[in-house]
């Protein structure tokens, strides 16, 4: 279908002038002179055979025709800009190196990578899951996802996710011989402990949970102990006991029914997940695309 449209520059000039109620401010936004904006608008009015502005000493105001024309034009320009941005995203190429804990990568990031690949097929991700602290000045790492209380000295930090913990187990454990209907019932079950929990993380300690629920902490000091939280989760899936489930790590297991949340009790961690890195990195187009995607995933998919 052949479309009879005015020149794009004239449409942009009118939209900017209408938004600012000023040829001068529109010119500043568009990087041209005020005279050029005025000339573009005059040409548009001539082509449409209608006045779009009332030109007054105090500034510009839209005519009835201008007010009627502006919403549809603004929507069209926004859609054109969005289509252009998506096209550029699809053509973006390069490599980004991001570091994070293996447990977070396995539980939260990996199940989402298909969506990232579909949106940015030209961007390759290098995912480093080592536990060491990164020297951004010396190492080939662009950004990191870190779990902590902050601040992260000398680095920019963007909040990504909170972390809620709650008891979880395999559905098979619910149908075993021992009751598992109330928190108190945990005293009869094998507990799975994360030996890597920091002393400042009481929400990851079974004894602290028992104290919080008014139970004797000593009864929570037995069970299976793990130095790797991925193995701990695997043990819970295998029905080996009850674990303190970290919500960001368990989305797929809960969604697929491999694990179930046992009770209403939960504990919101004092620590958070942050996207961390040198401020200059966040201005790089590829890194900005990844950061925006991570934030979108956290916002819409948890």
The whole-angstrom separation of Cα 163 and Cα 224 is 23
On the question of pLDDT at 279 being above 70, the answer is yes
Question: Element (H or E) spanning 124, and its range?
Answer: strand 123-128
Beta partners for 96?
125
The listed CATH number (3.30.470.20, 1.10.3720.10, 2.60.120.480, 1.10.10.10) that belongs to domain 8-91 = 1.10.10.10
Q: Does domain 164-268 have CATH number 3.40.980.10?
A: no
Reported confidence tier of residue 301, pLDDT bands at 50, 70, 90: low
Of 165, 241, 162, 251, whose CA–CA distance to 202 is shortest? 165
Q: Across the chain, what does the average pLDDT equal?
A: 89
The whole-angstrom separation of Cα 196 and Cα 43 is 70
Q: Does domain 94-161+271-301 have CATH number 3.30.1330.10?
A: no
CB 169 within 8 A of CB 237: no
**Mean pLDDT confidence for 1-17:** 87
pLDDT number for residue 149 = 86
pLDDT number for residue 131 = 80
pTM: 0.68
Backbone angles phi, psi at 272, to 5 degrees: -135, 165
The whole-angstrom separation of Cα 61 and Cα 211 is 68
The whole-angstrom separation of Cα 174 and Cα 224 is 19
Reported confidence tier of residue 59, pLDDT bands at 50, 70, 90: confident
CB 160 within 8 A of CB 98: no
The whole-angstrom separation of Cα 277 and Cα 296 is 19
Where do the domains of the chain lie? 8-91, 94-161+271-301, 164-268
pLDDT number for residue 89 = 54
Do 94-161+271-301 and 164-268 share a fold? yes
194: helix, coil or strand?
A: strand
């Amino acid at each position: 279908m052949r479309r009879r449209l005015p020149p794009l520059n004239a449409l942009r000039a009118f939209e900017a002038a209408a938004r600012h109620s000023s040829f001068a401010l529109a010119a500043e936004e568009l990087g041209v002179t005020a005279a050029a904006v005025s000339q573009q608008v005059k040409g548009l009015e001539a082509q449409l055979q209608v006045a779009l502005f009332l030109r007054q000493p105090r500034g510009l105001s839209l005519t009835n025709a201008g007010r009627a024309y502006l919403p549809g034009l603004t929507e069209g320009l926004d859609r054109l800009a969005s289509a252009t941005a998506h096209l550029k995203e699809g053509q973006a190429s390069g490599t980004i190196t991001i570091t994070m804990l293996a447990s977070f990568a396995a539980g939260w990031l990996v199940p989402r990578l298909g969506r990232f690949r579909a949106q940015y097929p030209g961007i390759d991700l290098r995912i480093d899951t080592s536990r060491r602290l990164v020297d951004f000045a010396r190492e080939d790492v662009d950004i990191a996802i870190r779990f902590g209380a902050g601040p992260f000295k000398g680095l920019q930090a963007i909040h990504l996710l909170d972390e809620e913990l709650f008891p979880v187990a395999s559905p098979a454990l619910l149908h075993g011989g021992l009751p598992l209907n109330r928190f108190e019932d945990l005293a009869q079950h094998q507990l799975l402990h994360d030996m890597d929990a920091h002393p400042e993380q009481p929400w990851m300690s079974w004894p602290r949970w028992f104290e919080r629920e008014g139970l004797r902490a000593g009864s929570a000091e037995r069970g299976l102990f793990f130095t790797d939280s991925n193995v701990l989760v695997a043990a819970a899936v295998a029905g080996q006991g009850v674990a303190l489930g970290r919500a960001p790590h368990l989305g797929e297991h809960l969604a697929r029914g491999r694990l179930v949340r046992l009770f209403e009790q939960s504990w919101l961690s004092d620590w958070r997940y942050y996207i961390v890195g040198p401020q200059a990195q966040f201005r790089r187009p590829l890194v900005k695309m990844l950061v925006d995607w991570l934030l979108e995933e956290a916002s819409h998919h948890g």
